[in-house]
Structures are given as C-alpha cells and as structure tokens.
Amino acid sequence: MTSRQILYILFFAAIIVVEGHKRGGRIPPNERAPYLRGLNTTITDEYHKIVGNPNLTKKQFRDAVDTFASTLPPENKKLYSEWKSRHESKAKQLTDEFHTKIASLSAEAQNLAKQMKSIHDNLDITRAAEKEQIHKIRSSASESVRKELKGILPFHGRHGKKERKN
C-alpha cells in the first residue's frame, strides 16, 4: 500500500468525521464507518479521539487508526480491511483521474495543481497545515487559474461549505 493510498483513506475518514460534526457530532448509523458498527461507546470514543486530534501528522494519524483497527474484534477487523481496500482502490482511481484531468490545463494551472498534490501527498504534516498550505497556493493564483483548478483536485476546496454566489 502506498502512502498516497493511505492518505486518501485518511481523507475519506476525515470527511466522515467532519460531516458528523456538522450534525452536532452525531453521525447517523447508516453513515458511520462500517467497522465501528456494534462497538460500545468506549471503543468508538477512542476512535473519535484519534480522528479529532488536530496535532497528529497524517502519518501519525494513519498509524493510530491502523493500531486502533488492530484492537477491534475479528468481525470489525474484517470490515475495516474491506473498507480500507475500497478506499485504496478509490485513491488509485482519484490519482489516475488527477493526472488525466490536469493534462488539459494551462502550464500555470498544472504547476499549481502539482504543488497542491505534493502538499497533499506529504504525510509529515498535519491536516490543518495541509489545508493552510494549499489555501496559500490557491489564494496566490489568478482567478482564471483557480477556475481551471475547480473540480480537478478532490482534496481541496471549500471543505463542505456551500459555494458563495457572486
């Protein structure tokens, strides 16, 4: 498993948590990570402490989630493995799509997209640092380049916020 694939897995796990926080911290049972089903609150609280820790680098986060998953009952471990496998597959698909999509962009937009992807792929920074660095790069781009990049990069944007209408 590559670090890029792991990063996509973490990204999707973070989305699940963020969506839960938007609902007052409650995630409907059908939207919870499948490997958490049937677990008591002590165990799920442990998971949420990991996911909600902003001080972990992405590598530390990945390692902590893997360590957590290794302590789960056999059925939940199996669900985690299946979930992880699906997300690794999705990560590969997103990477392939990224390379296909940026090929048609201007040179400046391609350069910025590659810079943002490089930051995204860096596992030695926190998720907050990633967001801040990508925001800086994106903010420094011209409006035309930002429009080109819109929809190309699955790992940046308004992070769940509705688009503003001008």
- From the centroid of its chain, how far is CA 2? 15
Q: How many domains does the chain have?
A: 1
Report pLDDT for 128: 93
Assess if residue 166 is contained within a domain: no
Q: Which residues contact 7 (CB under 8 A, 6 or more apart)?
A: 58, 62, 91, 120, 121, 123
Task: Kindly report, residue by residue over 77-103, the tens digit of the pLDDT.
Answer: 999 999 999 988 988 888 888 888 888
Least confident of 33-37, 71-75, 126-130, 157-161: 157-161
Report pLDDT for 163: 43
At 62, give phi and psi (nearest 5°). Answer: -60, -45
Question: For residue 136, what are the domain limits?
Answer: 3-149
Q: What is the 3-state secondary structure (H, E, C) of the chain?
A: CCHHHHHHHHHHHHHHHHHHHHCCCCCCHHHCCHHHCCCCHHHHHHHHHHHCCCCCEHHHHHHHHHHHHHCCCHHHHHHHHHHHHHHHHHHHHHHHHHHHHHCCCCHHHHHHHHHHHHHHHCCCCEHHHHHHHHHHHHHHCCHHHHHHHCCCCCCCCCCCCCCCCC
Report percent pLDDT > 70 for the chain.
72
Assess if residue 155 is contained within a domain: no
Res. 158: pLDDT tops 60: no
Least confident of 17-21, 78-82, 143-147: 17-21
Res. 50: pLDDT tops 90: yes
Res. 61: pLDDT tops 90: yes
Res. 21: pLDDT tops 60: no
Check the CA dihedral 117-118-121-125 and report its sign. negative
Residue 129 pLDDT level (bands cut at 50, 70, 90):
very high
Assess if residue 163 is contained within a domain: no
Assess if residue 64 is contained within a domain: yes
Assess if residue 71 is contained within a domain: yes
Q: In whole numbers, what is the pLDDT of the chain averaged over residues?
A: 81
Assess if residue 135 is contained within a domain: yes
Report percent pLDDT > 90 for the chain.
43
Assess if residue 160 is contained within a domain: no
Mean pLDDT, range 15-42, rounded to an integer? 68
User: Residue 119 in contact with residue 125, Cβ under 8 Å?
Assistant: yes
Assess if residue 25 is contained within a domain: yes
